Amino acid sequence: MNVEAISGSGAPQRDVHSRAAQHAALAEPLRLRIADLLTLSDLSSSELRTQLGIRSNLLAHHLSVLEEAGLVQRRQSEGDRRRSYATLTSAHHSAAVSGPSPSHATQGDRPRRVAFICTGNSARSPFAAARWNAGWGDEFGVRAVSAGTHPAPAPSPRSVKAAAALGVDLSAHTPRLIGTLNAKDLVVVVCDRAYEELSKGFRQHQPRIRHWSVPNPGPAGSTAAYENCFEDLSRRVEALGSSRRC
């Protein structure tokens, strides 16, 4: 019997099989734990091994299963090319796969502010901060700031144009150097280079730090590269706010 002919289209049937594969991949407790960790931060293999306490070959197996199910992808670092970071795909954020959002954090648990950091503070981090403030700053009573490890002179015209298309005005933004961070700040580093540049000691003493491995649109220089970057950041900021895990 041709099920696709009866349904009128093969697309819904393929979607069911895809979702079933995703649920099957997450049915294994350790893989579900990996997915939970990656909802908070993109992580290298060594970081995952440390947090999970498992051998490298076992981790590689579980990551491969999650990749085959379309839930995880690995990106080579733009800084240390020997590294790669595991990151969730947009498929994981669908209601069919993700678990229920945790309840709102209590006032005492909430960060003082959200600090988005990248290298130049000219595109990724200011866009993410603006997105957070527009969508979640007032709701949580937690505002966002942005900074860079090596601030650029100014945002590029293409970044300003691409941000404007998504409702964010970067035209008056002045890139600034990262300053003093408080232990109560939630630090989100949206750049591989900046994340790796920040010393291990800094990361150990900053209890709320996350890494989003968002490719730098600058080298490509195209409007499309900036649009893809900003759409990725928009999705991540929305997921962060919706998760109530700030």
Strands 186-189 and 144-148, by their bridges, are unpaired
Q: Please write the tens of the pLDDT for every residue from 158-210.
A: 999 999 999 999 999 999 999 888 888 999 999 999 999 987 777 777 778 99
CATH of domain 8-93: 1.10.10.10
- Give the pLDDT confidence of 4-20 residue by residue, as tens digits: 444 445 556 668 888 89
Contact 146, 129 (CB under 8 A): yes
Residue 109 has pLDDT above 80, yes or no: no
Stretch 101-117: mean pLDDT, rounded? 71
Does the pLDDT of residue 231 top 70, yes or no? yes
Model confidence at 2: pLDDT above 60: no
CATH 3.30.1950.10 fits 114-243, yes or no: no
Q: How far apart are CA 189 and CA 192, in angstroms?
A: 8
Write the DSSP symbol of residue 211: E
- 8-93 and 114-243: same fold? no
What are the extents of the domains in the chain?
8-93, 114-243
